[in-house]
Amino acid sequence: MASLCLNSLPLSPPSQPPKLSEAPSPSSSSLNINSYYGSKGEASKPIVVSGNPPTFVSAPGRRIVAVGDLHGDLDQTRCALEMAGVLSPAGQDLWTGGETVLIQLGDILDRGEDEIAILSLLRSLDIQAKDEGGAVFQVNGNHETMNVEGDFRYVETGGFDECIDFLEYLDDNRDDWEEAFVGWTGVSKQLKEDRKMPQNYWDPWNLVRRQKGVIARSILLRPGGPLACELARHAVVLKVNDWVFCHGGLIPNHVAYGVERMNREVSHWMRGLSDSDESDNPHFPFIATRGYDSVVWNRLYSRDTSELDDYQNNQIHSILEETLHAVGAKAMVVGHTPQTTGANCKYNCSIWRIDVGMSSGVLNSRPEVLEIKDNKARVIRSKKDTSSESQVVDFI
Instruction: Check 143, 254, 268, 336 and give the catalytic one.
Output: 143
Please state, in angstroms and rounded to a whole number, the distance separating the CA atoms of residues 183 and 189: 11
Q: Is 196 helix (H, G, I), strand (E, B) or coil?
A: coil
Buried/exposed code over 127-157 (b: 16+ C-beta within 10 A; e: otherwise): ebbbebbbbbbbbbbbbbbbbbeeebebbbe
Other beta carbons within 10 Å of 191 = 16
For strands 351-353 and 344-346, give the pairing. antiparallel
Identity of residue 318: S
> Is 336 assigned a catalytic role?
no
Find the DSSP H helices in the chain.
Answer: 74-83, 115-132, 142-148, 157-172, 177-182, 184-194, 204-221, 226-231, 252-257, 259-270, 286-289, 310-327
Please state, in angstroms and rounded to a whole number, the distance separating the CA atoms of residues 362 and 112: 9
Please state, in angstroms and rounded to a whole number, the distance separating the CA atoms of residues 148 and 227: 9
Please state, in angstroms and rounded to a whole number, the distance separating the CA atoms of residues 217 and 1: 12
Instruction: Report the catalytic residues.
Output: 143
